[in-house]
Structure 1
Amino acid sequence: MFGRKQEDDTTVVHMLASALRRDISFGTLLPDQKLKIEALRQRYGGSNHSMRETLRLLTAEGLVEATAQRGFRVTSATEDDLRDILMVRVEIEKIALALSLKLGDVAWEGRVIAAQHGLTKAEAAVASTPDDLKALEWDEACRAFAATLIEACESPRLIDLHARFFDQSRRFRLALLREGGLDFAARKARQRALVDAILERDEPAALRLIEDEITAELTTPR
C-alpha cells in the first residue's frame, strides 16, 4: 500500500517538474522570479508536499534556487551564467564523447545517425514554423542528439551531469531560437561533419566539432 502511494507521489512530482522546466525554459517563469508554493499549486496542481519536492528536484538540477528565507526562486540567466554553463557543457561533453569514441559499437553509431536525422527534420520544421510546439519538438531533438553522442561513455555520472547542464542551457537555446539567432544551414553542415568524424573515429575533429556545436547553439554570432 505504502509502496504504491510513494510511486504515485513520485509520478506527480515528475509531471510537475516537467511542466515547470518547460515554463522556465520558455520564459513563462522568469529568471529570479519568486516561486510561491500556493500560487504554483493553483497553476499546476499537486499538494504542498509534491510541489515542495518538485522545487527541491529543480533546485538540484540548477533551475531553481532556495533562498535564505526558506523560499524558492527561478535561477538567474545572466551572461555570466551562460558562460559558466557553456564552459561546463563543453568540458563534460568532450570527455564523454572521447570515451564514447573508444567504447561505442556499431549499434551506437546507428543511433547517432538516427538522432542526427531526427534533429535535421526538427530543425527544418522549426525554421519554417517557429511556434512553441515546433520549438519544443526541436529542443527535444537537440536533447536526443546530444545525449546519443555521449551515451556510449559508460559513465552514469557523466551522463547525469550532461542532462543537468543541458536542461540549464535550455532557456538560452530557446531564446536564441526566438530571436532568430540560429544559422540552420551552418548547423546542418556542422552536425553532418560531426557525425562523419564519429563514424571515422576521428577524435580530434569530433571534439573540435562538438565544442563548435555547443558554442553555436548557445551564443549569438558576432
Structure 2
Amino acid sequence: MSVFRSAGRLMAVLTALLVLPAMLVLPQSASASEAGHSGSAIAVKVHVARDAASGASPRTCYAVSGHFISRYNQNPGGWGCAVTPEYAYLDGTYQEFANGEMDWSPSQGGNMVVSGLRYPGGIYFQFGPSDPFNYDAWLVRISQEGGGTFQPECSSGSNDGQGNYCDRSNGAVHLGTTSTGHWQIITEGCDVSWTGSHTCRQSWTIPVDIWY
C-alpha cells in the first residue's frame, strides 16, 4: 500500500505544487486558525535559521534539552548547531538549528514534537509521539510562501521502506524539493470512519518553518 492515498510520488506532487492556481497560494502571514490555534494571528518567530540556509555561520551555539534532545541525538550532525535558544510560541515552544527547526506542540500530545530537517534535495518532516492520542491517519499540509499548498494523507500502518511511514502516534515524510524559499508544514491526526469521513479532534500542530 502506498504511504499516501492520493498524493502519488512526492517529487511529482511538489513539482505540480509550484503551478497550482492562485486561489491556493497562502498569504505571507497565515491566520492562527489555519494552524489550528485560537487568536487572530500567528506570533512571529525569530528566524535565525533563514540565514543558515544561505550558508551563513551561526555566531552562537545554544544548548538542546527538554522535548527536543531525543530527536536531536538521533542525528546531531544533520541538525547542526542550535542557532536559537528554545522560545515560547503559541501554546508550545520552538528551537531553530543550522539545518532545520523543532516545535513542541502539546495540544496534540504532551510529548508531541514536529520537526523539519533540511538536507540536499529535500526536507525530512517528522512528528510524534502523540500519546495519549492515537489515530487512523495523518493529514500533512505543506505550504510554500508565494507558491501553493497541498495536503497528502498518510494512513497508520503505512511504510514504503524509504523513510516515509505513519503509525497511530508517529510519522515521517520526505519532501523532495529543490525549490528555494520559505516552507511551512503542519499535521493533524484523524479517525477515519468506514465511509471515509474524518474526525480530527486535536486539530493542527504548531507549524514548522523551514528556509530551503
Taking structure 2 as the reference length, what is the TM-score of the superposition?
A: 0.23
The structure with the greater share of residues assigned to strand is 2
Larger Rg: 1
TM-score normalized by structure 1? 0.23
Higher helix fraction: Structure 1 or Structure 2?
1
